[in-house]
Amino acid sequence: MELCLKTKKNLPEEIYSDMEKQFPPEELKTFTELNNLLHGNFYKFAMFYNADEPVGYVFFLQNDYIWIDYIAVFEKFHSKGYGSRILNLIFIKYSNLKGCFFEVEPEDSDNIQTVKRMNFYKKLGCKKLDFEYYFPNEIKELRLELLYKPFNEKIPDKNEIKKQINFVFENLHTFVKTKDSTLNLIESRN
């Protein structure tokens, strides 16, 4: 079984329907916002197929780094190793870049899913950055962990991380009303 990646410029409605099932509403951009981002220069949407059958998808921002916005495996393929295979395919395809950032909920021993998720990323070689990060949303910023998977570079320093976060807020979180106040909060904490 070989997995293949195909990038697309338009978001199929059935993918957005799946996103509504798999992501919390406070983390989900609207269908229109995602399509607008896809028609810009840096935001990408990739579908992953096993033979001709779609198994999952990823939305990400690309410059010198990859910044994963969403990754999902279709429900019937859950717990079959596709998530790690998809990310490893991204890591190989974009290995000429510096590395890949992930925004992840902090581990909470009362929530086994957060522990499993963090272990998943650690197994892929991701490192937890010593950086206080907040995700902007319409109501109030969310405290998240910032993880990083180096490709050909060492772990970026705080100035490089801040530069990347500014790029992300300018090109990814463009529709979020609290983006400026969240960016100021990040700046003040680091």
User: In this predicted model, what pLDDT tens digit does every residue of 22-63 receive, in sequence order?
Assistant: 998 878 899 999 999 999 889 999 999 888 899 999 999 999
How distant, in Å, are the alpha carbons of 108, 134, 177 from that of 118?
A: 10, 17, 29
pLDDT of residue 1: 44
Q: Report the number of distinct structural domains present in the chain.
A: 1
pLDDT at residue 6, rounded to an integer:
67
Task: Give the range of the structural domain holding residue 117, as residue numbers without chain letter.
Answer: 3-189
Of residues 4 and 65, the one with the higher pLDDT is: 65
Mean pLDDT of 84-94: 94
Region of residue 187 (phi > 0: left; psi between -120 and 50: alpha; otherwise: beta): alpha
> What CATH number did the domain enclosing 33 receive?
3.40.630.30
The tokens of 178 are what? 């609290």
Quote the pLDDT of residue 178: 86
3-state secondary structure of 60: strand
Strands 133-135, 142-150: pairing is antiparallel
Average pLDDT over residues 74-95: 94
**In angstroms, rounded to a whole number, what is the distance separating the alpha carbons of residues 26 and 139?**
8
The upper half-sphere exposure of residue 60, i.e. CA atoms within 13 Å in the direction of its Cβ, equals: 24
Full-model pTM: 0.91
Predicted confidence (pLDDT) per residue in 119-151, tens digit:
999 999 999 999 999 988 877 788 999 999 999
pLDDT score of 2 more than 80: no
Can you give the pLDDT at residue 9? 76
Nearest to 66 by CA among 98, 92, 33, 40: 98
| Res 5 pLDDT > 70 | no
On average, the pLDDT of the chain sits at 91
Q: Which of 21-30, 69-78, 175-184 has the highest mean pLDDT?
A: 69-78
